Structures are given as structure tokens and as C-alpha cells.
Structure 1
């Protein structure tokens, strides 16, 4: 077994491994290839793979978190190992390599995510569970009905929007999202990289609700074949309580299904009661859970 820096040509193997371990996570080969080849500047983002007999059996990413004002905070994301190669030190080697990369960047507090059965592994390495995240799925056969917007509200695919208007709404909606740290330092450049220029973003299925030319709610769709991920659905605070997030999400699901998507996945913090209620009304069913886990890097 060896650990090395991921290369763009690893993308197909990485996506296949992710789909085996986390079938409810959606990211295609080309968007994964771009993520490896062209990481966002300024975060120290890097990915590592574990190989056994020249086969990719593990993956992890590490970066300094660039979306929060909390100082010295970093993320280790999506550490996963092929089921046939677990309990052989692969996960520990990946985690050690990732933390070793972050320490010189000034990161002192780390967040990682673990499935419930992996919490003992996390605790052994100094991580403590913090918040539970629910993953849910919705079958899109039949497709949800296309809703009629209320007077004064216009539904538009985001492909027709000035992206800066969507960015402004996204920042406003995320400001009070439940989480380990506030999402309060998202620059337009980083949002453009993570969201607008992501090769998986389906801009014709993603929908925004407009009032007087202002984006007040939206639902973003990332797609890989006949699977989709509801990347983010939100409403700016001054327009909450009017059903606009549900309206935008129903429209996005309808448009995605009309273009061949058959199953939709999403995730929510267990403390996000409003969005969990929306998803329950839409028919989503829980399929998995993860815990965010925090540690001090010394």
C-alpha cells in the first residue's frame, strides 16, 4: 500500500470508489478531474489516494476552510476506503497524510466527517462527534408536479441569471445555516469556483425564484447521469415563511426529472428543521447519516 497525491487521471477510479462506499454522494468524473487538476487557489486544497497493487482503494481531501471567518479552521473531507481493504491501516495512513499537509498551513482546528460505525476510528484519532447530518433520497418516477408560483414571483432556470445575483442570495441564505462554524466569508471568486463553474451544475434544472428582479430563493442541482444532488436550497431571510424554498426545489426536481434524472439525493443538518420538513413533504426518505467530528491539531 502506498499513499500519493491524486492525479487527474485518477478521477474514474475515485468516482467508482465513492459510488461504492457512498452511493448517495453525486459527483461525476469530469468535475472530479477538474477538482484535482485545478484546485481553488488560496485554500491549500489537496487530495491523496491510497493504492494497493496499482489500484485506488482510498481517497481523502484536505484544505483550509475559506468560507468561514473562524481562524485556523480546516477540513478533511470524504476519507473513505474500499471495504475489502479496511482495518489494514489505509484509513490511518490517509488521515495522517492529510493532517500533515494542513499543519504547515496554520490550521489548528480540524473537521472531518464519519459514518456512525466509523466513530470509534475518529475518536481513536482525537476527533469528537459534533453534529449529525442526514442523507436522504427521492425517487423521481413519477416526476414531481411543476408548481404554479404565487403572484409576483417568477421561476427561472439559473442559466438565465446574472450569477452575481445568485451569489448574493446564496450568501444571505447561508449566513445562519446550522453548522460547526459560520459560513460568513464566502468570496465571489470562491463561490464561482465551487458553484457556478462546477462542471456538475445543471444550470437548466437549477431554479431561482425572483421578486422584482431579485433572487429570493433558489435550488441548485448537480448531476451525474441519472442521479442528482440538491447542492443547496435556500431563501434569503426577509422572504422566509412563504414556501419559496419548497417552490424552487419542486420546480428544480421537476425540470431534472424531465431531463432524465431518476433519483435525487440531498443532505441536511439534523438541526435544520425547516429544510427537513420540506424534504419530508416532498417524499424524501433517509438513507444514511454522518457526523461532523472536531479535533485540535497540535
Structure 2
């Protein structure tokens, strides 16, 4: 009955499948597959010191942690630890062991400030605060019923704008990298991000197994991508928006909404029945867009912070 914490073994199917199962039970609003977990283990930048941990009891994976350094942030020493335990296996010490092991790993690699997403439920928040984490900003998970909901009608692009897909940039993704880097750097959040390593972006983002290039819609103007909505799919019935953004010079023209609407319509036509997305609670414009599509908030997370040392 003893709980042990150890590194995930990517070459052991039961480990990877157990990791995904815990995530699906504890956080059903995000897409995870064995392939996406294995991809993160093998393709995350070495400077992130990314590590996947599992808590095991009687041969079963009952808890997980994803932990690493925000190596692409301009502020050094920031780390993250996100812990999830199967809802039917809480209270056995798995969460505390995962937190302690992750913190030791991050401290050994120079982390001084740790961030953790915690579901906004009394037990989870109490657990985080008991381990020295204080609440910060919040974010929402949103769900859209693609099978039975009513999407806004498709819209024609404005003059000078065309709609394409990310698959059109398969031979040269650099324009998509430049757009992703610009929009991601402007996202609200506790940890700033600067994409400067094109090869790392190719490995981690462009070749991510959940990224569906054919369903990722791109608005093009002046010969370059200026807005996009990145689509993740799990190979089954679920679709998620991984990122939606517009180049600074083209904001305020409804291009992000145009791209996302196009992607959602094509996802529904392809047979996907559920759509998920997430927004910072302070991102009013994007929350308004998602409400227009018919998304409803299905859960909230609170970012918690702990200073080490």
C-alpha cells in the first residue's frame, strides 16, 4: 500500500497510459495522448529540464506531475510544477510526494520561484496553500458542444485577406513561427515567454502530435500569416484550440474570430463533437469571442506561486 514517486518510463506502455488516464480523470478539459506525453519527454528543450513524474501504488499510476523550468522566459529561475491525482485515490500522500520530488528537482536546477495551476476547488486550494503556495491569477476552461451546438455562420474574409491552413506552410513554417512568437509574447500571464529558437519551436510545437495542421486556420494578408487559430485533435472526437492570435499591426479587425470560426466549422465537418479552449480570466476580448461561439466555462484554475529559499 506504500506510495512511491518515480520518473515516468516512456518505453513502458502501462506507465504512459497510466499517466494519460490520471490526466483525463483529473483534468478532462485538456487533450492528452500517449503520443503527446512521449513527445514532451523526448522533444522539450534541454534547458527546460522537463520531467514527468508518476505516483504509483500497488502497481497502479495514481498521480502525475509535470515539472520544468520556463527556459523561454526573459526572467530566469522560474519553474512550474503541475500535480494531478486520480479523484478516487486522493488522501494517500501521492500529491505531497509528487510536490516534494518536483520541488527538489527544480531547486537543483536553479529555480527560485515556482508556479502551479490548481483547480479552483476548496480541497485543491487548501492543498496548495498547505504546501506554501499562494494564489495568483486565474484562468478558465471552456467547452463547446460541436455536435449539437449552433456555430455562428461562416464569414467571408475582408478585402485583402484570404484564409488558408497551416498545412500550406508545411514546406516552410518560419512565417508561422514568427506569428506564434509575436502573439504568444503578448498573452497575459505570470510568466513571460519569448520564442527565439526556431529549431526548438519546430521540435516542440510544429511537430507536436496533437497539432492538426489541416484544421489550423490562418488569415493571410500582405503575403504573410497575420492571424491564426491552432487546432489540437486527439484522433477521436475531441478538438481543442491550442492558441489563437493576431499580429499586432492587424488587431481590431476580427481576424482571430474569422480564423477560429473557420477552424471550428471544419472540425465539426470532420466529425469532432467536443471543442475545448482556455482563457486567462483577465482576457476579456478572447472570452467575449468564445462566448460568441457558444463556449461555456466548465472549470477554473488558479495559478499559485511559491518562492524558494
Q: Shorter-chain TM-score: which interval?
A: over 0.9
Q: Secondary structure at the match of 1:42?
A: helix
Residue equivalent to 1:215: 225
Q: Which residue of the partner structure matches residue 141 of structure 1?
A: 147
> Is 2:228–2:246's contact at 8 Å kept on the other side of the alignment?
yes
Q: Which residue of 2 aligns with 1:96?
A: 100
Equivalences for 1:153-164 in 2 at 5 Å?
Answer: 153-161=161-169, 162-164=172-174
Which of the numbers 268, 278, 287 marks the counterpart of 2:279?
268
Deviation at 1:273, TM superposition (A): 0.7
Match of 1:80 among 84, 90, 97: 84
TM-score by length of 1: 0.96
Distance in 2 between the 1:42 and 1:6 partners?
A: 19
Could you give the per-residue CA deviations for residues 140-183 of structure 1, whole angstroms, max 9, x where no partner exists?
12573433111111111101113110111111112221110222
User: Does residue 279 of structure 1 match 2:290?
Assistant: yes
Partner of 2:128: 122
- Measured in 1, the distance between the counterparts of 2:195 and 2:233 equals 26
1:193 and 1:295 map into 2 onto residues whose CA distance is 30
Deviations 1:196-220 (A, max 9, x none): 0101101100011000211110000
Q: Secondary structure at the match of 1:179?
A: coil
**Please, what TM-score do these two structures have when normalized by structure 2?**
0.93
Count of aligned pairs between the two proteins: 297
Cα deviation 1:254-283 (Å, max 9, x = unaligned): 111111111110100011111001001010
Which of 22, 27, 39 is matched with 1:22 structurally? Answer: 27
1:87 deviates by 1.5
Partner of 1:4: 6
RMSD: 1.4
Structure 2: gaps (5+ residues):
none
1:38 offset after TM fit, Å? 4.2
1:88-121 Cα deviation digits (max 9, x unpaired): 2110000000011111111111101101221111
1:51-90 to structure 2, matched below 5 A, reads 51-77=56-82, 79-90=83-94
Larger deviation: 287-296 or 17-26? 17-26
**For residues 66 and 251 of structure 1, what CA distance do their matches in structure 2 show?**
33
Match of 2:303 in 1: 292
Structure 1: 4+ residue segments shifted above 4 A: none
Separation (CA, whole Å) in 2 of partners of 1:128 and 1:186: 31
Answer whether contact 1:130 1:294 (CA < 8 A) is retained.
yes
> CA separation in 1, counterparts of 2:43 and 2:189?
27
Hey, what does 1:46 align to over in structure 2?
Answer: 51
